[in-house]
Structure 1
């Protein structure tokens, strides 16, 4: 085969490979399940129960997939960026005509939540049971059972401390939400407005059809049914404690 023909054939094969790769990527980005399967197919170690919101708006570095490990029940939101390598050696190459490759493992434990637009740099380990706040840039490892946020991200409290804070704050926030419904919509709140606040007024053995209780609780459903006792005896009791403004429409 003439040299020119061989080059043309090679170019066509490379073009076809790139096209197949692009199509595969587009297909993978069409759902969380497909994207997770794609990560695994490339060599990343990904556990069960991992959910990726809007994969098209997520960037996970797969130049060295063997360096990436994600545990079970991890929730990744849009704007997420994870790097297992760096190209900063570009500057050194231009100065010194030398290449110093840059890479590092990234390990994410189980039961981890990432807010929107989080960046995780190479060489990072995030332990189990962690919450990483929206907009954080994780430049150093985060220990297990921590809540971290900021640029650079730092631990702001333990997961136990955060739990105690939320136990108080979510009641205050739910009351304010109820008041806002009256202020904005001019009507009395109904249980269906409180898709995530239902533990305030529903015991574990009360599962109404008009609230997505089972979907919200997930694997915790059985424990909730068995143990939970609401702080309010009923939804009306909750509203009575909200100091609602007068309803404009009666």
Structure 2
């Protein structure tokens, strides 16, 4: 149970045909991210992407207690989207998931496509879309960005959990009722999302205070300050 609640799906929870289907979905999503992410990569974003991936990897190794017997960890989709953008952010999360699967057996190999679809694709996309919406109405200041980071993190984690519910509906191998799975996943991951939101908001606020130029969302959505018209300068005398 704890493996699923932490969002790393193990082998055998979803049947082989559905796992293969979402492996294809993950490959297509990653290919699109590679193509679109090339336009964003520059001398500033490339090292930042490496730092984001390393940070997500480190924090995902630290579990925090949500309920008795149920632990959660940072997924990182919203954090990555805010700091390095949706395309590069999804690649960062995917890299972490691949390393965790191959080196630490965290998440099944046959379920890798499921996990990438949920945490890297759905989680990052949901977080980024909410960031876009919120930064259109909230001020693009550290306070506005902090609130945005918290809300986007909570929503992205819950959205990723419902990706698993869809996969379970299509090919779940246990006898659990779908409404039970959906409500349990949503409820537990709301609590996990609150924990992630606090971590993400603190991290983003810290980076924005020290190096706002490294925050993708600020560069992308900061509204220009309107320029005031210069005051008329009185001219003495007339024109010959």
TM range (shorter): under 0.3
Q: RCO (CA 8 Å, sep 6+): is it higher in 1 or 2?
A: 2
Larger helix percent:
2
Question: Higher strand proportion, which one?
Answer: 1
Between structure 1 and structure 2, the one with the greater Rg is 1
TM-score, length basis structure 2 = 0.24
